[in-house]
Chains A and B, each alone.
Chain A
Amino acid sequence: MAKRCETKTVLIIEDEADIRDFACRVLELEGYCAIQAVDGDKGMRLVRQVRPSLLLLDLRLPGGDGWTVLEQIKSEAGLSAIPVIVFTASARESQRERALSMGAADYLVKPLSAASLKEAVAQVLGQKR
């Protein structure tokens, strides 16, 4: 579901429909162009096709989990510059450390308020600029 956007594009890879829609809606309300994928494989295809400005990534996913997606993006020369924010229900410290060491820009634990999501995205995109 790639769309043409004037502003920055954020790709959301998330298998839970409600959470995916929530993140999309908040980012749209904040003026971003939000696109979504339900699993790792579809997500990777969109990453290559759209080259989003930011990726919001769930870890527990069907079809190539979030770890695989993160690893692929960070190891591919053309993609490694895309910042990835991990958005997960796992609060384990070891997972946070692992994700950050693999190159994730931030690690957000569910549940999360609309404001926190908005700030985290703005901060990572601001840093990048």
Chain B
Amino acid sequence: MSKTGIDNIIERKQAEKQLIVSDERYRRTLDNMMEGCQIIGYDWRYMYINDAAANHDRRTKEELLGHTMMEMYPGIDETAMFAKLRHCMEKRIPHRMENLFTFPDGSQGWFEFSIQPVPEGIFILSIDITERKRAEELLRVAEQNFRNSLDSSPLGIRIVTTEGKVLYANQAILDIYGYSSIEELKAMPTKRRYTPESYAEHQEREKRRKLGKPVPSNYEISIVRKDGKIRHLGVFRKEVIWDGKIQFQVIYYDMTEQKHLEQIIFEYEELDRLKSDLLSTVSHELRTPLATIKGYSTMLLDYDRRLKRDEKREHLSSIDRATDRLTELVDHLLDMSRLEAGLLKLERRPTNFSNLLQEVVNDAQLRTYSHKIVLNLRKRLPMVNGDARRIRQVMDNIIDNAIKYSREGTEVVISARRARRELFISVADQGIGIPPEELEMVFDRMYRIEQRLTPQVGGVGLGLAICKGLVEAHGGRIWVESKLGKGSTFYFTFPVDTTAEGQYHGEEV
């Protein structure tokens, strides 16, 4: 079925009418829009303008309509914005732009423009973005202030991404690390910026972070500066917004001095504690022989007539032994304090060590029936320029210890040999041994092997500390090797007197 010509005409008229109606509807929509809408003709005259646009232009619709842009805003055709309008007008290409507009009254406003070619010319949609721009500017200034404050902060500050990439580092951090530029700092591998222990902790933190496990936001690290010096830093890490993204702000504060002071305070307290321990031990060790002396002497006085001659003699020898013990204690205390004050004077003379050792071993054997003292000496020993009395004191002390801490019937073996420019002496026992974790403390003053193992052994614990002091005063070394339950071997060395060798000694090793 085909349509008649009249039908066609009616249809067209209806469509035109509808178009007018629809045009009218669109126009009302444009009139009421919040955005500014204007149509500029090819001759740059305002053809349509809504209330919002008139408001943006700071003019009334009546003032603008029918006039050219150049009439309304003299010089506008010189502006960059106008160049875009012209481009759109001539080339029919849409544009979008933001522009700061200065009005004839001198006031300014930021506008976003969307320019679209339309059959009549161009259509300009304008949005007043002055408030947004102001807020952005405030934010920018705030961020700039924030960055300035970071730049001049005495604390080291870095901004890093979650992956650890450094976005920012301030001057203070360069000062802490001793580098002159951030590039130089970045170029140094992370591993070399930490001490080994601190690097291990760093890796552990990174591992936890990658696994999403909680990582403390406040921790301490030890870094190696460019000059190789070690500094201790406190680190505080928190999330911040940086360039619109969540990043980490890491603050570093140097606590090396603080740590140093803490260490000094700790050492002082430790010294204080040691002093008080020493005093209490010394007091106990003094009172014990004094108790023997006081007890037996008063007993001898009070019960004189009731005691037999033999018993009296026995008590008198107890008193005698107790005074020896007191004397030894006083000697030890004096030696220790002289050694610590550096006031101990050695009377050094070229000493024949072979003879000295033989005498020491003979004397030691006289002091004990319960142990065998063995001297294992294959060759003659070189001369040592030393204080024979002090060397003997060291030997006696170590041999007596060996006897004290080993079972009856066992051997204590003393060996000596020369190695290069040192004389090595060892004293080996088959005693209870020293627990590995205590080996290093053996030569500390006041050290005594755990009471549990040797409650019957008395003493203040100064003997080995004095031995160490005396050996070191001779320029030698002293150490111990031990197996728990198997025995200990004490080693010490004395430098060989090479200048004296030819002079005093012919036969050699």
Contact = CB atoms under 8 A, between A and B. Distances in A.
Sort chain B's interface into a size bin: 20 to 34
Interface of A: 15-16, 18-19, 21-23, 25-26, 29, 39, 60-63, 89-92, 109-115, 117
Given A89-B284, A89-B291, A111-B293, 18 more contacts: A16-B288, A16-B291, A16-B292, A16-B458, A18-B321, A19-B291, A22-B296, A22-B315, A26-B295, A29-B306, A89-B285, A90-B280, A109-B287, A111-B295, A112-B295, A113-B295, A113-B298, A114-B303
Contact of B287 (A18, A23, A89): A89
B455 interface: yes
A25 B456 contact: no
Given A15-B456, A114-B298, A29 B303 contact: yes
B197 interface: no
A22 B306 CA distance: 15
A26 B315 CA distance: 12
A44 to B, nearest CB: 16
Contact of B292 (A19, A26, A115): A19
A113 B294 contact: yes
Nearest to B300: A114
A49 B401 CA distance: 37
A102 B315 CA distance: 34
B456 A26 contact: no
A42 B296 CA distance: 25
A111 B301 CA distance: 16
Nearest to A108: B291
A22 B299 contact: yes
B302 interface: yes
B118 interface: no
B210 to A, nearest CB: 54
Contacts of A113: 294-295, 298
B99 interface: no
A18 B299 contact: no
A50 to B, nearest CB: 24
Contacts of A23: 295
A19 B288 CA distance: 8
A89 B295 contact: no
Contacts of A16: 288, 291-292, 458
| Main SS at interface, chain A | loop
23 contacts: A15-B455, A18-B295, A18-B296, A18-B318, A18-B321, A18-B322, A19-B291, A19-B295, A21-B318, A22-B295, A25-B299, A26-B295, A26-B303, A29-B299, A29-B306, A89-B283, A89-B288, A109-B287, A110-B291, A111-B291, A111-B294, A112-B295, A114-B302
B290 interface: yes
A12 to B, nearest CB: 12
What are the 6 A-B residue pairs with the smallest beta carbon separation, nearest first?
A62-B455, A111-B294, A110-B291, A89-B287, A113-B298, A22-B295
A38 to B, nearest CB: 8
Contacts of A109: 287
Contacts of B315: 22
B124 to A, nearest CB: 95
Interface in B227-282: 280
A113 B294 CA distance: 6
A90 to B, nearest CB: 6
Contacts of B295: 18-19, 22-23, 26, 111-114, 117
A29 B311 CA distance: 13
B308 to A, nearest CB: 12
Contacts of B296: 18, 22
A62 B458 CA distance: 11
B455 A112 contact: no
Nearest to B322: A18
Contact of A110 (B288, B298, B456): B288
Contact of A61 (B285, B303, B455, B458): B455
Contacts of A115: 298, 302
Contacts of A112: 291, 294-295
Contacts of A18: 292, 295-296, 318, 321-322
Contact of B299 (A26, A39, A63, A92): A26
A57 to B, nearest CB: 14
A60 B292 contact: no
B42 to A, nearest CB: 108
Interface string B454-483: 011010000000000000000000000000
Contacts of A61: 455
A27 to B, nearest CB: 11
Nearest to B285: A89
A112 B321 CA distance: 18
A86 B152 CA distance: 69
Contacts of A25: 299
A99 to B, nearest CB: 15
A112 B294 CA distance: 6
A62 B298 CA distance: 28
B287 A111 contact: yes
A60 B284 contact: yes
A15 B292 CA distance: 13
Interface string B97-123: 000000000000000000000000000
Interface in B118-133: none
Interface string B75-98: 000000000000000000000000
Nearest to B455: A62
A3 B209 CA distance: 75
Nearest to B457: A62
Contacts of A60: 284
